[in-house]
Amino acid sequence: MLTIQSREAAAELLRAAERDRVPIKPLVELYPEIDVVDAYEIQLLNVRHRNRDVIGHKVGLSSLAMQQMMGVDEPDYGHLLDDMQLAGTADASAYLYPRVEVEIAFLLARDLPGEGCTVEDVLEATEFVAPAIELIDSRIENWRIGLQDTIADNASSAGFMLGSERVHPSELDIGAVAATLRRNGELVAEGRGDAVLGDPAIAVAWLAAKVASFGVRLLAGDIVLPGSCTRAIDARPGDEFRAEFAGLGSVDLKFE
């Protein structure tokens, strides 16, 4: 476990990397004693430092393949801040290694319970699900990340875009929703909602219980990104992405 001073120093390294567009070595190399608790505390230090409104959370490592790659048995999470919500375009130069992921966003109408939150609780509290693209990025060199690195780095989250469609969760089988991602018109990824822990609502329930252990609740009005239906795809200047979801519409994001 790190000292408070080391946590603050690590947080500053991540802030500088994002600000200056210069990646850093993995925190697990710079601070070999860093653990998961340290990583979440570093994430929180930088969330507070940004002094923006928290409008939701994202779940990462929600596929079995990613968990096995990281050597973990549960997802991780990051914060969604109001200045991370995109309006159709993203400035590619503002990121280091931008990638996009295809997600089914949950828009909450009621607060979720913490410990013991169930899928039924999630579905009852969700006003709508919506098509979404998450923009992920890493302030660590060449995405050479371990679990502690991605957690400290806000679960590698950098932005997100919601499509206009809104569907009540009772109107579709979320796990069976087929999703595709096209880059400049070419199909580059496809998947289904159940790639996320078998059901994206399971990821939201996990998140509600997890953040409760840090004294945080998922609240009415929050946006929750439960994890990607597809693999992440690199984004380059000029790329135009369209994610399409069966029964849930589409969402577009252009990199300038």
116-138 pLDDT, tens digit per residue, is: 999 999 999 999 999 999 999 99
pLDDT for position 66:
66
Kindly report, residue by residue over 82-120, the tens digit of the pLDDT.
999 999 999 999 999 999 999 999 999 999 999 999 999
63: left (phi over 0), alpha (psi -120 to 50) or beta: beta
For the stretch 172-208, pLDDT in tens is 999 999 999 999 999 999 999 999 989 999 999 999 9
Q: Which residues face 89 on adjacent strands?
A: 254
Average pLDDT, stretch 58-74?
75
Q: What percent of the chain has pLDDT over 70?
A: 97
CA distance 84 to 57: 11
Q: Which of 162, 147, 156 minimizes the C-alpha distance to 46?
A: 156
Q: So what's the pLDDT on residue 213?
A: 87
**Which tens digits make up the pLDDT trace of 5-54?**
999 999 999 999 999 999 999 999 999 999 999 999 999 999 999 999 99
What are the C-alpha distances in Å from 10 to residues 2, 15, 97, 179, 196?
10, 9, 20, 37, 30
β strands within 8-98, DSSP E: 54-60, 76-81, 89-90
**Per residue in 211-244, pLDDT tens?**
998 888 999 999 999 999 998 999 999 999 999 9
Assigned token pair, 69: 């790659």
- Residue 203 CA to residue 222 CA, distance in Å, equals 15
Whether the per-residue pLDDT at 70 is higher than 80: the answer is: no
Give the pLDDT confidence of 141-178 residue by residue, as tens digits.
Answer: 999 988 999 999 999 999 999 999 999 999 999 999 99
What mean pLDDT, rounded, does the chain reach?
95
Residue 69, pLDDT > 70, answer no
Domains and CATH numbers, the chain: 4-255 (3.90.850.10)
Residue range 36-49, pLDDT digits in tens: 999 999 999 999 99
Mean per-residue pLDDT for 51-65? 88
Say which amino acid occupies 48: R
- Which pLDDT does position 74 carry in this prediction? 77
Q: What per-residue confidence (pLDDT) applies to 136?
A: 95
DSSP designation for 3: -
Q: Provide long-range contacts, Cβ within 8 A and 24+ apart, for 41-44.
A: 41/7, 42/7, 42/10, 42/11, 42/14, 42/151, 42/152, 43/78, 43/79, 43/151, 43/152, 43/153, 43/154, 43/155, 44/214
Radius of gyration of the chain (CA): 17
